[in-house]
Chain A
Amino acid sequence: MTPEPYFFLIIFCGVAVVFPLMPLALAWMWRRFFQPPKPGPAKNATYECGVESTGEARVQFQSQYYLYCIIFLIFDVEAVFLIPFAVAFTGLPMAAFIAILVFLLLLIEGLVWAWSKGCLDWAKAR
């Protein structure tokens, strides 16, 4: 008698179910018959390196941080432009000097505008 060609698949499925379930069942039986569970306030508490945890797990950053970052980024780029300008300053024509002044003026205008908008007040009343 030839075995059903798909019979081994059924065996395989059976093993696949029993194999993970067996240790779980053993663990459950162990808990049931030998080792009584001993939960407690400290054991159930959040692990925080031994320190009692405080506050909420969900921490929100103020959106103000984002504006600070943007303004910082602009002035970071400004520094990148200014340093080569300063290095080559003596060899530059007048037009270059005026161009960089315009560039600076634009950025300073932006800073004044951001300042007047209150972007630089860190802890604004919410």
Chain B
Amino acid sequence: MSGQVDEGLRSELQKQGIWVTSTQELYNWGRRNSIWPLQFGLACCAIEMIATAASRYDLARFGGEVFRPSPRQADLMIVAGTVTKKMAPQIVRLYNQMPDPKYVISMGACAISGGPFKQGYNVLKGIDRYIPVDVYIPGCPPRPEALLHAFMELQRKIDAQRLTGDGKAGFLDRNQPSEFPVPAFGAHDLEPPSNPDVFHPPVVERSS
């Protein structure tokens, strides 16, 4: 796999017109340059997402312009906007319906933490309570450049995923789940309020 061919030797060979690669590199190269997002916007961040896909910012430069109207054909879910508790089960279900490998970009303050509506009763305090998020973009809303940056970060992440060995990517691991439990409406809140397998909030240590 990658790393077995010496970088210097590879560069030397490349100068002579011989291109050395591995299945993993070829696979990841293809995947990272054809990330198809799910056509899915929730709030004002979606407008920025649309702007990113349109000609001025041109997401097509990164191979991500093919917004799919069905989760069956999508690789990436851009959670663009405020996730209300009414919408959260649908988002989790859509995520579950996407085929592996799948990635999530949490776009904007609302999708990360609830944002300005964090104190509200009806807004989910971050989509990472239910589904694993790969890249977070802060901002309210983040500019298209920020989304492009997140896209490039995701490409770097995909590039670093391994096909074999202990550190292989989660979607290749038979034991890693591909679906996550869909929350249901309870008496006061979504049940469960978060998925403990996915959600690991940072522990704040305070000095006494």
A38 & B178 in contact (Cβ 8 Å cutoff):
yes
A49 & B97 in contact (Cβ 8 Å cutoff):
no
Instruction: Classify the secondary structure of A's interface with B.
Output: loop
Any A CB within 8 A of the CB of B118: no
A47-B96 Cα distance, complex, nearest whole Å: 11
Which chain B residue lies CB-closest to A52?
Answer: B93
Which residues of the other chain, A, contact B97 by a CB distance below 8 angstroms? 42-43, 45, 47, 50
Any A CB within 8 A of the CB of B99: yes
Q: Smallest distance from the beta carbon of B12 to chain A beta carbons, Å? A: 30
A42 & B172 in contact (Cβ 8 Å cutoff):
no
B172 & A34 in contact (Cβ 8 Å cutoff):
yes
A43 & B179 in contact (Cβ 8 Å cutoff):
yes
Any B CB within 8 A of the CB of A51: yes
Q: Smallest distance from the beta carbon of B124 to chain A beta carbons, Å? A: 14
Q: Smallest distance from the beta carbon of A31 to chain B beta carbons, Å? A: 11
Q: A47-B70, A47-B97 are in contact. Are A34 and B163 (CB under 8 A)?
A: yes
B163 & A40 in contact (Cβ 8 Å cutoff):
no
A35-B176 Cα distance, complex, nearest whole Å: 12
Any A CB within 8 A of the CB of B47: no
Question: 14 A-B pairs, CB-CB below 8 angstroms?
Answer: A36-B172, A36-B173, A36-B174, A38-B171, A40-B178, A40-B179, A42-B93, A42-B182, A45-B93, A47-B71, A47-B97, A49-B94, A50-B91, A51-B93
Residues of B in contact with A (beta carbons under 8 Å apart) = 70-72, 89-91, 93-94, 96-97, 99-100, 163, 171-174, 177-179, 182
Given contacts A49-B90, A50-B91, A50-B93, 12 further A-B contacts (CB under 8 A): A35-B100, A35-B171, A35-B172, A36-B172, A36-B173, A38-B100, A42-B179, A43-B178, A43-B179, A49-B94, A50-B89, A50-B90
Residues of A in contact with B (beta carbons under 8 Å apart) = 34-36, 38, 40-43, 45, 47, 49-52
